[in-house]
Amino acid sequence: MKYKIGYRTFKSAAAVSLAIMLAQLCQLNFYVSSAIITILCVQNSKKKSLKSASSRFLACMLAIPASFIFFEGIGFHPIVIGLLLLFFIPTTVWLKINEGVVTSTVIILHIYSTNHVTWDVVFNEMGLIVIGIGSALLVNLYMPSLDKQLKVMQKQIEESFKSILLLIVEYLRTSEKKWEDHEIEATMKLLKTAKTLASRDVENHLTQSENYYYSYFSIREKQFEIIQRLLDIMTSIDSQLEQRYLVADFIEELSLCIHRGNTAKLFLSKLTVLEEEFKKTPLPKTWETFETEAQLYHLLWEMKKYLLLKQSLKLV
């Protein structure tokens, strides 16, 4: 089994070392605890890291006065810690900063172990908080670019789409079903992975709510749902009508033009021409022919939706 150390592991190690060094340099009590705060704040994206840091900071700021009220008001006793948490945890949930419960519990236990609450204790804990969170945010300023991975996945998805569309073309021409369930499942898994990675890329840019790759993979995901419906339609097309071959030619040409560029407008025009060709054909004389033509029209309708989705993609 190949062992691999990720960027987050490297960053966690660096941030923890930095936090302990700074806390020790400042001669803070419980300086090693800054490592706990730091490692909890290191996330795999800038937005997540910032959100985690803000939640933990606010929770810790709430924990200090709460500790003073409970410990100085009731007493330094283990039961008081339980009472404090009964109040503190629901409050953080209500304020939507419950992500900081673990970090702030460390602060509460520090204050409890001192057996008194003074300004020196408060400043010590605030120092640990600032150093711990600050170290995590500092290392998270650098996030490796995901462009290379996203481009590779984009190419893989385009090749998968091309392969499946060509199998549809072959079925329309020969009535031989050659696609396998595992091919469909592999493409679905690839789309899901790519979209997750693109979402992470968005979170690494604090001013963005969406980017090209996220939009691209979202559109491809919807297009793949249409392709799956096309595969279902295929099994209902039995008669060897001439229109089958016209549709096959259209899909084959489309499959050869699957790339990051947007040729949807061109193929929508070609699809309109194909629909006009269909209208010129004589009305079906048998029920079987009628059903086949209806399925072919349904197929064209799905292809139109497929192209309209791609047309909505904004190029970069």
57 and 63 Cβ atoms separated by less than 8 Å: no
**The two structure tokens encoding residue 239:** 């008669």
> For the whole model, what pTM was predicted?
0.66
Q: What is the pLDDT of residue 308?
A: 87
> In this structure, what are the phi and psi dihedrals at residue 207, rounded to the nearest 5 degrees?
-95, 0
Q: What is the pLDDT of residue 90?
A: 92
Parse the chain into domains and list their residue ranges.
7-139, 147-311
Per residue, what are the HEC states of the chain?
CCCCCCHHHHHHHHHHHHHHHHHHHCCCCCHHHHHHHHHHHCCCCHHHHHHHHHHHHHHHHHHHHHHHHHHHHCCCCHHHHHHHHHHHHHHHHHCCCHHHHHHHHHHHHHHHHHCCCCHHHHHHHHHHHHHHHHHHHHHCCCCCCCHHHHHHHHHHHHHHHHHHHHHHHHHHHHCCCCCCHHHHHHHHHHHHHHHHHHHHHHHCCCCCCCCHHHHHHHHHHHHHHHHHHHHHHHCCCCCCCHHHHHHHHHHHHHHCCCCCCCCHHHHHHHHHHHHHHHHHCCCCCCHHHHHHHHHHHHHHHHHHHHHHHHHCCCCC
Q: Please report where in the chains the tokens 């990051």 appear, as a residue.
A: 260
CATH 1.10.3720.10 applies to domain 147-311 = no
Q: What is the pLDDT along the chain (316 residues), one digit of tens a residue?
A: 455 566 677 778 888 888 899 999 999 898 888 888 888 888 777 777 778 888 888 998 999 999 999 998 898 898 999 999 999 999 999 998 888 888 899 899 999 988 888 899 899 999 999 998 888 888 877 776 778 888 899 899 999 999 888 888 888 888 777 777 788 888 899 999 998 888 877 766 655 556 788 888 888 899 999 888 888 877 766 666 667 788 888 888 888 888 777 777 888 888 888 777 776 676 656 666 667 677 778 888 888 888 888 887 765 5
Q: What is the pLDDT of residue 1?
A: 46
